[in-house]
Chains A and B, each alone.
Chain A
Amino acid sequence: MRDRPDGASLLDFARTALLRDLAPLLPAERQHEATLIARAMAIAAREAAAGAAPLVACHAALAELYGEGDLDTLLRRLAAAIRAGAYDAPDETREPVRRLLWAITLQKLSESNPEYLAASGVRQATQNGSA
């Protein structure tokens, strides 16, 4: 069991306290550091909220392409196949790889920098299939 509050609430409260209460008291040359700490906390919070689901989905897509293996092994196989030119030609082997690369990138960015992703306006475009 765990007592309340849960980790997500603690992180959220701590981040708010840092930005709202503590940062204004810091000298100007240390303000940037507070922003960086808040950024690190926000990434960690989004990652915790997403849980293992994105990695499971990525693993499943890779297994469909390359068969069984752990995530790291399959990612290495993907990287090596791209490097070897296996997906240069615009044929039916290329399309699932292209889609997977988009999915990986959008998932990473939704945790690391969702503001950047939103500003790019890209999510909608890919859903329409015309990125």
Chain B
Amino acid sequence: MALGEATTRDRLAHFLCGAAGARAVEIAELRRLSGGAVQENWLLVAAIAGGPFAGRQKLVLRADAATSLSMSRDRATEFAVQRLVHAGGVTVPEPLFLCRDAAVIGKPFFVMRWMPGAADGQRVAAGELGGAREKLAERLAQELAALHKLRPARDALAGLGPPPADAAAARLRPLARFVEAHAEPHPVAEWGVRWLLRHAPPPATPALCHGDFRTGNYLADESGFTALLDWDFAGWSDPDEDIGWFCLGYWRFGAYQREAGGLVPRAVFHRAYEAASGRAIDPARARYWEVMAALRWLVIALEQRDRFLRGGERSLQLLLNGRRPAECELEILMLTEQAGEAA
């Protein structure tokens, strides 16, 4: 039931016709966009006759890729989150139609408006994309602040489950369990777990968080930011978690000294977020969540490597991630020692 097949396209056109309240829909273009190991995105150009969407519509279809991650949300939940944040003023591609019926293209999917730009983290960090880095970082801080300010009704996002009473404990528990149970010993990761257990900050009021807020997950064109993408890890958490994840060494794409997403020093990003949110960033809490980010990425890298070594998924990218933990371990050692034992 590949998307490229004519019968699948016919069923897709039929679905769009109903969802868009149209008289007729013709699919003019359908091709897979690059990127997306967990989800796949397809450019979908549709000629729509009749109804509120009449005209030539440039859209993106998003569905699960062949392999999915345990932590990733399902498409219906992601659709609900993306609709909610779009209505709340966060700049995201407007989600339009959700299809839960796997009979249409073989799996659930949703359709959103196409937005200009590319999500190429390497080029953004290198300054080839996204315009002036300071301006881009400021805009991202504003978008993140707008997200964290939303106070949606819980039943509007039932798929996310209840907010954790203690976001740090909730995040740490499965990571610690993974490290302990893994096939090989990981003493530095254990060191990080121990530090995180002993330095947990008082729980913050949970906010709706992106969960994978980083360079490489937003669209940018030559002049700057265009849209925030990839809401499949969204959930209730401490808003400082998004800030810590944004500063993870790996997401600096080689621009190591510009800690915030390879764009600006972390203090500059913190200030921009504070200005936009009216909420002060406690550097100790931010550092705590950076240690958590390093541990989380270490675990993800091991999981990805195991998909190759044990799951038989022949991707060199996944295999090479088996050599990433050392980067996270360096961050764990540096950040915990900067914090000092008194912290």
Contact = CB atoms under 8 A, between A and B. Distances in A.
Contacts of B326: 105, 108-109, 112-113
Contacts of B194: 82-83, 85, 87-88
Contacts of B334: 120, 122, 131
B257 interface: yes
A119 B257 CA distance: 8
Contacts of B325: 108
B333 A105 contact: yes
A108 B333 CA distance: 14
B87 interface: no
Interface stretch (A2-10, A17-25, A36-44, A49-57): A36-44
Interface residues of A, number: 34
A60 B188 CA distance: 18
Interface residues of B, number: 31
B283 to A, nearest CB: 19
A78 to B, nearest CB: 5
B314 interface: no
22 contacts: A36-B316, A39-B320, A43-B323, A72-B185, A76-B185, A79-B190, A88-B198, A90-B341, A101-B187, A101-B333, A104-B188, A105-B188, A105-B333, A112-B326, A112-B327, A113-B324, A116-B249, A116-B327, A116-B330, A119-B254, A120-B256, A131-B333
Interface of A: 29, 33, 36-37, 39-40, 43, 72, 75-76, 78-79, 82-83, 85, 87-88, 90, 101-102, 104-106, 108-109, 112-113, 115-117, 119-120, 122, 131
